[in-house]
Structure 1
Amino acid sequence: MDRSLLRDDVYRRLRDAIVDGTFLPGEQLKDGELAEWLGVSRTPVREALLRLGGSGLVVALPGRSTRVSTIDPRAVRDARDVIAAMHELAVRQTTGQLSDDHIERMREANRRFAEAVDAGDIGAALDADEEIHRIPVTALGNKALETVLDQFDPLVRRAERMRFSADGHMSVELHAQLIELMAAGDVEAAASVAFNIWHTLPAEADVPTADLQSGE
């Protein structure tokens, strides 16, 4: 596998393992064990942990260990607000500009999202949700905006998982509103929905944590 593709794959797999609770908040992550688990060398694992640290999903303690971060409501709120602003900007600048193929791909992704929610497949729901919102972002082609989303999105995905686990049906409706407003070229209404979608996310929830022993 190309090195950049391997690096991105390792990052996504570790990110998803944190988001889905495979690795609990507070759990220690050892690059050697992770490399063995993923079947890769330690280098892409270390690079992935650095990226995850920048996103706030892991915390590195100098000379001690790297652990999965606990869910900090303020950090989630801050990341959520930044992401909402970025998606509002992407929607504002692409509404009325997307092709019929873009719109149909968003509709199809929302259909898959609805099916995943009904089936209780939260992982598939998260993937479909990400695809819906990424279509306007990719169409816009603003690399600075994409960089900001890449940094803060992983932290917010944990809050999304909580919401979709509780009830994702409201998101199905909000997605549908967004898509049809974009198809109709209603810039202000579409931008407003895009912004408000992210503010339905909870900033805190009761989550399990790994047992933290002093000196581990």
Structure 2
Amino acid sequence: MQPSFSLEALEKENLGETVYGRLAEALMKGRFAPDARLTIRELAQSLGTSVTPVRDAILRLIQDEALVQKSAREVRVPVMTPERYREIRLIRLKLEGLAARETALRAGVDDIRRLGDLVARNEKAIARKDWAEALELNQTFHFALADIAGLPLLRGILHRLWLQMGPLIAEAYEPGGRVMIDHHHALLRAVEAHDADAAERAIASDIGDAADIILERLATRLDTAGARH
């Protein structure tokens, strides 16, 4: 006899993954500001679902260190310290540098066209000051490097890092302006030339210049918080 499977259980499993994906995407796109308070009931109402998949997704995001449990009923987006951000920056330099090198060595015509399209669309988004789309395209560009490089495990690690720093990048994207995209052009040229060293340098410059802006904003937030106390 063939075993029977519960269609309802499958739907619940898919719903849980969908809710996690939606909340993770919102974090990476900066839709929740640092120190924002999240409630399960409000999120469930917003997503049009029950509280159970939202609660499960939040628990996963706490394990990812993208959210922090303050109390039994209080979950917040963490406020990152400069020291923690510097650690993330160091890890990104190594891992995204590896992804850039492998992309330069492995990229085919379609891959290069894909990266070029992302850069062109990002330029247009910045020109019309559509910062939400520009931010999304920036994230897609960085993740595309891991995809083209054929490094799925690295992409998973980057996903967790971007969950934690998404709110910071979102805050810095508009003030950063061209700093947030200029090095993408250099990286694209390096990939077209299959120059792994130049690709690694370009991504390092991209991460480093953006980090300067982010660290400056973190310092300002700490100074403001200190003045309030």
**TM superposition score category, shorter chain reference:** 0.7 to 0.9
- For structure 2, the 5+ residue unaligned runs are 1-9, 225-229
The 1:196/1:127 distance shift into structure 2, 3 A limit, reads: same
Aligned residues: 209
Kindly provide the CA deviation profile for residues 37-72 of structure 1, in whole angstroms up to 9, marking residues without a partner as x.
111222331232233323433211353421221232
Aligned with 1:203 (options 209, 215, 224): 215
Aligned to 1:32: 41
TM-score norm. by structure 1 comes to 0.83
- 1:6-45 equivalences under 5 Å are 6-18=15-27, 22-45=31-54
Kindly provide the CA deviation profile for residues 93-127 of structure 1, in whole angstroms up to 9, marking residues without a partner as x.
22131111111111111111111122222211111
Task: Report the secondary structure of 1:203's partner residue.
Answer: helix
Aligned with 2:72 (options 63, 66, 70): 63
Aligned to 1:113: 122
Q: Distance in 2 between matches of 1:10 and 1:207?
A: 31
Q: Which amino acid aligns with 1:203?
A: L
Question: Is 1:184 paired with 2:189?
Answer: no
Please report the RMSD computed on the Cα atoms of aligned residues, expressed in angstroms: 2.7
Instruction: Report % sequence identity.
Output: 27
User: Which fold has the larger relative contact order, with Cα–Cα distance below 8 Å and residues 6 or more apart in sequence?
Assistant: 1
The 1:151/1:22 distance shift into structure 2, 3 A limit, reads: closer
Q: Distance in 1 between matches of 2:137 and 2:168?
A: 16
Q: Distance in 1 between matches of 2:27 and 2:98?
A: 28
Task: Report the secondary structure of 1:49's partner residue.
Answer: helix
Q: Distance in 1 between matches of 2:215 and 2:60?
A: 22
For the pair shown, which has the larger CA radius of gyration, 1 or 2?
2
Q: Distance in 1 between matches of 2:122 and 2:15?
A: 27
Larger relative helix fraction: 2
Q: Distance in 1 between matches of 2:199 and 2:97?
A: 8
